[in-house]
Amino acid sequence: MSSQSTLAPRVHAAEQSLGAAGYRLTRPRRELLRAIAAMPDHFTPDELIHAVGPAVGRATVFRTIRMLTERDLLCRVRLEDGTLAYRWSGAGHHHHLVCVSCGRVDDLQGCDIDSDLARLAAASGFAVDGHWLEVYGRCADCRAREA
């Protein structure tokens, strides 16, 4: 779970970003931001709904997740079992390393596949609007425990 010392800065940064973009910081949005900050590394919408309880409606949860994702405050992670989860977004465009043993998710920076995508797209006449990449395997801690 996130440490208390990292909760306030994440919530504050998200509130600043949303306010600067003209979004109202309603009580349900603030509750959702605090709940997201207190979640483990990644979470599903259903886990977030359970965490905030009946005070925040399902539609508000999904709209807020979408808004935070569009603002690059959250990013999507497709877990090995196909579940769509969310987590605080790392800086800029990135991909994820997903451990199939413990479920740990790490950001993968510097994955330069843009030139390969451009070449493949040009060869097929396809216009790429974006891509999403998850790499599945075992983290160093799980590999060490298995050894």
Residue 2 has pLDDT above 50, yes or no: no
What does the alpha-carbon distance between residue 11 and residue 15 come to, in Å, rounded to a whole number? Answer: 6
Which residues in the chain belong to E strands, given as ranges? 74-78, 84-88, 95-99, 105-108, 134-137
What does the alpha-carbon distance between residue 114 and residue 106 come to, in Å, rounded to a whole number? Answer: 20
Residue 138 has pLDDT above 60, yes or no: yes
Query: Helix 45-52 vs helix 27-38: angle between axes, to the nearest 10 degrees?
Result: 110
What does the alpha-carbon distance between residue 125 and residue 115 come to, in Å, rounded to a whole number? Answer: 15
pTM more than 0.85: no
Residues 5-35 pLDDT 10s: 456 788 898 999 999 999 999 999 999 999 9
Residue 90 has pLDDT above 60, yes or no: yes
Residue 7 DSSP SS3: helix
Domains for the chain: give ranges and CATH numbers.
1-89 (1.10.10.10), 91-147 (3.30.1490.190)
